[in-house]
Every structure is written in C-alpha cells, then in structure tokens.
Amino acid sequence: MTLTIPPGSRFVACLLLAAALGACSKQEETAAGASAGAPSAQAGAEAAPAPAPAVAAKVQGMGAEELRELATRALRENRMYAPAGDNAMEYYLALRDKLPDDATVASALTDLMPYTVIAAEQAVNREQFDEAQRLVGLIEKADAGNPALPRIRQSISSGQQAVAKRSEAEAARARAEAEARQVAERQRIAQQQAAEAEAARRLAEQQEAARLAAEREAAARREAEQREAAARQAAAQQQSRPATTQQAPAPRPLRPISMPAPRYPPDALRAGTSGEVLVEFTVGTSGEVTDVRVVRSNPPRVFDREAMNAVRRWKYEPIDAPVTTRRTLAFTPNE
C-alpha cells in the first residue's frame, strides 16, 4: 500500500498527523526510556561518541516498495518518528535516498518535520538526551538547514550541563550527609563510652563504700563479742571467788617489786594536759602483769597507751594464785 498525498489534500494530512501526535509521543517516550537512564554520566564527558546513523542500516537495506508499504503502515499506527528503526520518518528518509525526485516522499517528510521537531524539544525537556539526539539526526537528514536545529542542539547542550551540575551537587550533598552521619555516629559512640565509663566509676565507688561499711560492721561485731566475752569472764571470776575464799586460805597481798612511772605523752606535756587512767590487770603467780586494759580514762585516750605500757612493766612478788586488780595512774605536767 502506498501513501500518496496530493497537493489538494495537504490540509487533511496535517489534521491526521496532528491527531496522531499524542499517541506517537507516548511511543517516543517508551522508545527513549532506556536512553534517558543515565544522562549525567554522558553530560560529564568531554567528547561525546559519534552519533548513530539517522536511518537504521536495516531500513537503508530495504527496497522502495517495502519502504513505501512500511511507511504507510507506520503512519496508520501513529509511529511517525518512534520507535527507532520502525517509524515513518526513517522509512521516508530511506525512500528519498532511493527516489530523490519523488514528490510524495518530499511532501510526507515536510508534513512529518514539525512533529519531529516538537518531539525533539519534548525529549530535551524530559532530559532524554539520547532520544533528542536521534530526533535531531532525523531532522538534519530531512532538512539540514532547518532553523530549529541550532536551538535544539543548544537546548541539549544546556540540559546536559545542567544535569551534570545537578548530579555533582547531589553527589556533594550525599557526601556531606554521609560525613555528617559519620561525625554524629562518632559523637554518639564517644558519648556512650563516656556514659559507660561514668557508670563503671559510680559502680566501683558503690562497691568500695559497701566494702568499707561491711568491714566497719564486722569490726564493731568483733568488738562487741570481745566485750561480751570479757564480761562473761569477769562474772565467772566474781562468782568463783566466794567459794574459793571459803575453801582456801586468804591469798597473800600483792607486794610490788618494781613499778616504773608511765612516760608522759609529749603532746599532752606541751599542751599542759593532765589526767588519770584507771587500769585493770592480772598479776600471775610469778609476779608478772598480764591482761592489762583501760577501765576509764580522763581525758579519753590521751594517756591510755602510756598507762598500759607502764603497768605491763610492773613486777610483783610471786603469789599462790593469779589476782586481778585495778590501779589509777595520775598524769600531772609539773611532776
């Protein structure tokens, strides 16, 4: 089937082409989808690769009758300039190469030209630069002097540069966001480590305080037990004394052999402090002093040590049985 557009029907053909533009634009978008996938990478190249031929090689190899039939079918199915390799524009361009003087072919290309120009501009607006370049190739092959070509080429170049700049800005923003996330993560880790260290320090302090409290409690318990044991021992001795007295003769009185005076504490002597200490002790059968303890002191703990040290050095005559007794040691600075 051959598409023939006589001069009198040019207006009707324009109306048909205008009605098919919407559907053909959708086909163009589908055909150009793959070529618009990565515009930024192409935009950044310093030298673009050589453009593909405007008319596919398989189309160029077809015969005139086949081209005329395929061109008619493409128009009927609204494939005016897309998809690549199967559209009316390429079929008519290939047919013109074979029949350069065919007026119907030239008329068909003239009618298809404005829609191809519009499609190229729409591809640029959608940033489908590969598809726009393909359509520019069709326009240039159909009419190398078409006034729209410089404008479309400039739009493609400007669009590619804009996409490249936008891609660079997005990459820079992504890097900045990644760096900010890294800084925030490092700060979070540092804060977490500081919090863990503080928690460990507080736990150690609590454990140390608990240990000291337990030691103090144990010491107080031991001291209480010692006092209780001493009290029981004293009570037992008191209870046993009357019976011993009745059963045995009265013990010999204590006769001291040596009773060295206590040393005056230097701090108390310098301060002019005086006092006294009531000491309880036991005299063994050999006359040696044992079990010395302070019963009462005034002032407390100032003269205790020296009083006990002095009593431990006292010596008595041997006796028949141990005797526990008390003595008061006085401390006067001027003595």
Q: Kindly report the backbone phi and psi dihedral angles of residue 286, in degrees, each rounded to the nearest multiple of 5, phi listed first.
A: -85, -5
What's the pLDDT tens digit per position in 287-326? 999 999 999 999 999 999 999 999 999 999 999 999 999 9
Q: Which of 20, 109, 119, 110 is closest to 71 using CA atoms?
A: 109
Alpha-carbon distance of 8 to 241, in angstroms, equals 157
Please give the DSSP secondary-structure letter assigned to residue 9.
G
Using only the alpha carbons of the chain, give its radius of gyration. 60
Q: Which of 114, 104, 121, 113 is closest to 141 using CA atoms?
A: 113
What's the pLDDT tens digit per position in 174-211? 999 999 899 989 999 889 998 898 977 998 899 998 89
Q: Cβ atoms within 10 A of the Cβ of 327, count?
A: 15
3-state secondary structure of 276: strand
Q: Kindly report the backbone phi and psi dihedral angles of residue 183, in degrees, each rounded to the nearest multiple of 5, phi listed first.
A: -65, -45
- Please, what's the largest Cα pairwise distance for the chain? 167
What parts of the chain have a pLDDT lower than 50? 1-46, 243-246
pLDDT at 168: 94
Q: Kindly report the backbone phi and psi dihedral angles of residue 317, in degrees, each rounded to the nearest multiple of 5, phi listed first.
A: -70, 150
Tokens representing 124 are 């640029």
pLDDT at 237: 78
3-state secondary structure of 288: strand
pTM over 0.75: no
Alpha-carbon distance of 310 to 31, in angstroms, equals 117
* Sequence-distant (≥ 6) Cβ neighbours of residue 118 within 8 angstroms: 21
Paired with 228 in beta bridges are: none
**21, 27, 30, 31: CA torsion to nearest 10:** -100
Tokens representing 204 are 């150690």
**185, 190, 194, 199: CA torsion to nearest 10:** 40
pLDDT at 250: 62
pLDDT at 190: 87
β strands within the chain, DSSP E: 256-258, 275-283, 289-298, 315-316, 323-331
Tokens representing 93 are 């361009």
pLDDT at 48: 53
pLDDT at 253: 87
Alpha-carbon distance of 21 to 115, in angstroms, equals 7
Query: CA–CA distance from 276 to each of 207, 280, 312 (Å)?
Result: 43, 13, 17
| Edge-to-edge strands, sheet with 289-298 | 289-298, 275-283, 323-331
Cα 48–chain centre separation: 44
pLDDT at 5: 38
- Which domains are present in the chain? 7-169 (no CATH), 256-331 (3.30.2420.10)
Tokens representing 80 are 């005016």
pLDDT at 242: 55
pLDDT at 196: 93
